[in-house]
Amino acid sequence: MYALGKFVLKKSPRLRLSSSVSCTGVNSYHSENGVYGYKPRQQRRFQVPKEYLDERAKQSNFYRLVEAYRTHGHKQANIDPLSMSKPSLLPELQLSNFGLNLKDKVRFRGILFTQQDEGIIEEAVRFLSDTYCDTVSTEFNYLETEEEREWFAETVERTLTEPLDDETRKMIAVEMLKSQAFDNFLAIKFVSLKRYGGEGAESMMAFFHEFFKLCASDDLKHIILCAAHRGRLNLLTGLLKFPPEKLFRKLRGLSEFPDMTRCTGDVVSHLISSTDLDIDGKSVHFTMLRNPSHLEIVNPVSMGKTRGVMQTIGEDAYGQDGSSRWSDRVINVQVHGDAAYTGQGVNQECLAISKVPHFEIGGTIHLMINNQVGFTTPPSKGRSSRYCTDLAKSISAPVIHVNGDNPEMVVRATRIAFKYQRLFRKDVFVDLNCFRRWGHNELDDPLMTNPLIYKIIHNRPSIPDRYAEELINANILTRENVRNSVENYTAWLNRILKESTEEAPRQRDYLTGRWTGIKQAEANVTQWNTGVELSLLKFVGKKSVEVPADLDIYPQVLKSHVQSRLKKIENGNALDWSTAEALAIGSLLYQGYNVRISGQDVGRGTFAHRHAIIVDQSTEAPFIPLNFMINDQTGKLEVANSILSEEAVLGFEYGMSISSPYTLPIWEAQFGDFFNGAQIVIDTYITNGEAKWMLSSGLTMLLPHGYDGAGPEHSSCRLERFLQLTNSKENEADSDDVNMEIANPTEPAQYFHLLRKQMVRDYRKPLILIGPKILLRHSQAVSSMTHFEPQTSFKTVIGDDKVKSDDVNKVILVSGKHYYALKDYRESTENKNVAIVRIESLCPFPIQELLEEIEKYKHARIFVWSQEEPRNMGAWSFVKPRFENLCGRQLKYCGRETMAAPAVGDGQMHQQEAKEVVVKPFAMK
């Protein structure tokens, strides 16, 4: 990390852009060299062996039959453990369609991947039925490349016939029996507990047992997993070695955090684990992410967390030598519920970003816990497609359906999925068809709504018992083995429950590892020196627009961006918004921090103001000047132009933000009000992730806001909603420990200090930054270079230096760009009796600074809050009680009247309102 106090100008290497463009697939990002966080993929070369092609040509009818099974076999597979009827025979698989008879002799080589080279059709049909129509079925013939389709067919046909060794069979039986014993134990000891147990889905333990072993054997170092509540506690206390005493403490209604922790906590079904697992002598770090009860919203967070870990360890395009691939050492696993995966739109968004530059993570392995019911809704009423995994087809991801009654096939399905992800680094789905032994929770009676299916469930043996009986009959286990496994595990749980006490010591498991040195904000107000030396500011400013000599730059960008910025830096007295942003980001990069800015069109900026990426007009190659300021630069800027999504992308950025405190993640909405597409992420993670789970985040949200006549959907960032979500108090002063910060700055220097403060302080808080639109190019919304220098910092309140305090009889309080309209009107009327005070920080509410400012105006008797927004929106309802309770003055309102929509759509009506909200505050008595 570079020290600002020891700033030395270094000669930058001469940069050259390649004049050729290498398109390597549908996701080509214009440049054959890539940019930080993305490098193009070389297309894999594959060719089916000529002898295979010749054989398929000679026996075309037989080959068509085999392909029919590979394509349609899943439709008559025995994958439902509760099936009340046998799947009907498919016309697509009738031999008469292919001109074949059962006794016809055929060659298998090159067509079927079996141990036989030849045989008769009857043998082939038997093999195909066992492979594609039994307790495992697959969907893969829509895969994009011939290599993938050929590989999948061969792998399925070989893997499903591989025998499992007895030790593996014993282990999965024991793990399932322990899972069942755990549920029985909790049912007895905690009768009224909604534990959302794994009963009916115990085969998931076979999946995870095999998956963990495969990860270790492939030298993976990090597993990032997200899951809902179903079977969560079973997995935690079983394979993940979560201490049961911590669980029992939680079940007694106590916190899992140390007593001094300022934390409100969460329910028991949201417990997590972050631990090192010893798997076959290898250490693998496992992280199960926190999740709210909003199903599936954790998925993009897990993807962002995975990407963040990849950045920390320097994987793929984050690395120096470029030799690694995404997911070489980190793998993402998502566990879904069938009804939620179909119903929640965030899943489509997650798949849509899975291969997008700056969002790719090398493929996710998806496990579908297919209960075949959503609360009380059966599949026939819960979706319009055949399978709950049909969304996978949108990105051509293969699906392996498996009957949960066959744990051994679950193991084989896991192996196929793992091999596919490791080879192709793409998403793959395992659809574990199972059931829910009880209702939505253990206190819910499912017979009220699903009587037929639950009569089957209640009259059949459990999956662990059935599989144990199978191994007993095969002389692999004895009844004594089974009894001892269950009794010993139950006795162990009983002993820990008895020995566990409410006073048991609890170690702090947050703000450790990469977060060491970061602390919880304290109940006081701190000020941070975020200024930067003048020489470094000028250096960064110039470097922010320096491009290679051979880059064909767009003339308008050259004139209005590059040359204009150089002139502003040289003069140092009229720095605009985008320049302030570049100085903030560039100085952080110079110090060794990383910065990531994400959102729709963020490279250029919605309003064509940022130009963080300069695009070569001849090659479309992107160039990011701030990444080439000095030799051996460690801090990097990642510019992630996102898909047209808010929910998944914001969730992804939150996941990035919790992975490391040394990356500043910024998400910019195209227009401020578009954030509401991601409301669940805001409500369940950003505003209270620290309060519930002790997860610190420095995520910054930029929300362009302002009433400029753009209509109801392009005017307001719904400031009032964010203010309502804070834990700011109306009757006492706020401090650093508010749940998030909300600022509405009016000057570029203020924006500069806010961004830098996010990184230089020793705690992390989300920042909601009400961003400008017209202020981006407003002639008055500029800052002098002196406002960026050392010993300067963010001003929570900006007073009025244009009037004499003794002449003031009215004070107008304002926040944001509305200030400039009020200022211009006051100047036009030559009013000397009204002071305009800007509140730049809304949360924490700057009561001390505000008191100091209004105390200057001894003769002021009228205090007015002026805003552009309607009365029921904006900051009015937030500011009024705090000002009156803590400043002891009455505050009057002036702004638009109460409205249903944020703004009018008629231009003339807007002009009339805009004039009224500026004139009225000065006329109020």
Number of Cβ within 10 Å of residue 113's Cβ equals 19
* Whole-number pLDDT of residue 806: 96
Burial letters 454-482, b for 16+ CB under 10 A, else e: beebeebebbbeebbebbbeeeebeeebb
Residues in Cβ contact with 485 at an 8 Å cutoff, skipping those fewer than 6 apart: 174, 177, 178
Which single residue is written with the structure tokens 């578009």?
Answer: 674
Q: What is the mean pLDDT of residues 605-618?
A: 94
* Whole-number pLDDT of residue 508: 79
Facing residues of 199 across strands?
A: none
> pLDDT tens-digit profile of 529-585?
999 999 999 999 999 999 999 999 999 999 999 999 999 999 999 999 999 999 999
pLDDT of residue 45 exceeding 80, the answer is yes
Q: Which of 271, 364, 353, 297 is nearest to 686 (CA)?
A: 297
> pLDDT tens-digit profile of 123-162?
999 999 999 999 999 999 999 999 999 999 999 999 999 9
How large a percentage of the chain has pLDDT more than 90? 84
Where residue 386 falls among pLDDT bands split at 50, 70, 90?
very high
Summary count for the chain: helices (H), strands (E): 29, 24
* Whole-number pLDDT of residue 506: 66
| Token reading at 231 | 């079977």
* Whole-number pLDDT of residue 11: 35
Helix axes 564-571, 577-591, angle to 10 degrees: 80
628: burial class by Cβ within 10 Å (0-12, 13-18, 19+)? middle
Peptide bond into 378 cis (omega under 30): no
* Whole-number pLDDT of residue 660: 95
pLDDT of residue 24 exceeding 70, the answer is no
* Whole-number pLDDT of residue 576: 96
User: Can you state the percent helix, strand and coil of the chain, rounding each to 5?
Assistant: 40, 15, 45
* Whole-number pLDDT of residue 504: 57
Residues in Cβ contact with 818 at an 8 Å cutoff, skipping those fewer than 6 apart: 866, 867, 868, 917
Mean pLDDT of the chain: 92
Least confident span in 20-24, 184-188, 615-619, 748-752: 20-24
pLDDT of residue 27 exceeding 50, the answer is no
* Whole-number pLDDT of residue 19: 30
* Whole-number pLDDT of residue 6: 36
DSSP state of 849: H
Where residue 491 falls among pLDDT bands split at 50, 70, 90?
very high
* Whole-number pLDDT of residue 570: 96
Q: What is the pTM of this model?
A: 0.94
Q: How far is residue 810's CA from residue 458's CA, in Å, rounded to a whole number?
A: 76
> pLDDT tens-digit profile of 897-906?
999 999 999 9
H or E, element range at 364:
strand 364-370
CATH number of the 534-788 domain:
3.40.50.12470
pLDDT of residue 13 exceeding 80, the answer is no
Q: Which CATH class is domain 166-498?
A: alpha beta
Q: What is the mean pLDDT of residues 821-833?
A: 96
* Whole-number pLDDT of residue 637: 98
Residues in Cβ contact with 912 at an 8 Å cutoff, skipping those fewer than 6 apart: none
| Token reading at 224 | 């990032």
How large a percentage of the chain has pLDDT more than 70? 96
> pLDDT tens-digit profile of 866-877?
999 999 999 999
pLDDT of residue 412 exceeding 50, the answer is yes
Q: Under a CB-based contact definition with an 8 Å cutoff, are residues 537 and 587 in contact?
A: yes
* Whole-number pLDDT of residue 329: 97
Where residue 30 falls among pLDDT bands split at 50, 70, 90?
low
Q: How far is residue 667's CA from residue 896's CA, in Å, rounded to a whole number?
A: 29
Q: What is the mean pLDDT of residues 656-663?
A: 97
Number of Cβ within 10 Å of residue 283's Cβ equals 10
Q: How far is residue 906's CA from residue 282's CA, in Å, rounded to a whole number?
A: 67
> pLDDT tens-digit profile of 326-373?
999 999 999 999 999 999 999 999 999 999 999 999 999 999 999 988
Q: How far is residue 518's CA from residue 759's CA, in Å, rounded to a whole number?
A: 11
3-state SS, residue 367: strand
pLDDT of residue 10 exceeding 60, the answer is no
pLDDT of residue 824 exceeding 90, the answer is yes
Written as one letter, the residue type at 153 is A
* Whole-number pLDDT of residue 554: 96
Q: What is the mean pLDDT of residues 852-868?
A: 97
| Token reading at 825 | 């009107």
Q: What is the mean pLDDT of residues 667-677?
A: 92
Number of Cβ within 10 Å of residue 79's Cβ equals 26
Report domain extents, the chain: 50-160, 166-498, 534-788, 800-923
Q: What is the mean pLDDT of residues 283-289?
A: 96
> Does 166-498 match 800-923 in CATH topology?
yes
pLDDT of residue 734 exceeding 90, the answer is yes
Where residue 502 falls among pLDDT bands split at 50, 70, 90?
low
Q: What is the mean pLDDT of residues 856-865?
A: 97
* Whole-number pLDDT of residue 256: 85
Contacts 24+ apart (CB under 8 A), 605-613: 605/578, 606/668, 606/670, 606/671, 606/704, 607/704, 607/773, 607/776, 609/577, 609/578, 609/776, 609/777, 610/578, 610/581, 611/557, 611/561, 611/578, 612/582, 612/637, 612/639, 613/35, 613/639
pLDDT of residue 32 exceeding 80, the answer is no
- Measure Cα distances from 644 to 68, 142, 354, 705 in Å: 38, 26, 14, 19
CA angle 504, 507, 510 (to 5 degrees): 140
* Whole-number pLDDT of residue 427: 98
pLDDT of residue 596 exceeding 90, the answer is yes
Q: How far is residue 112's CA from residue 121's CA, in Å, rounded to a whole number?
A: 12
Q: Under a CB-based contact definition with an 8 Å cutoff, are residues 924 and 862 in contact?
A: yes
Evaluate whether the domain defined by 800-923 bears CATH number 3.40.50.11610: yes
CA angle 730, 918, 709 (to 5 degrees): 95
Q: How far is residue 538's CA from residue 519's CA, in Å, rounded to a whole number?
A: 33
pLDDT of residue 661 exceeding 50, the answer is yes
pLDDT of residue 5 exceeding 80, the answer is no
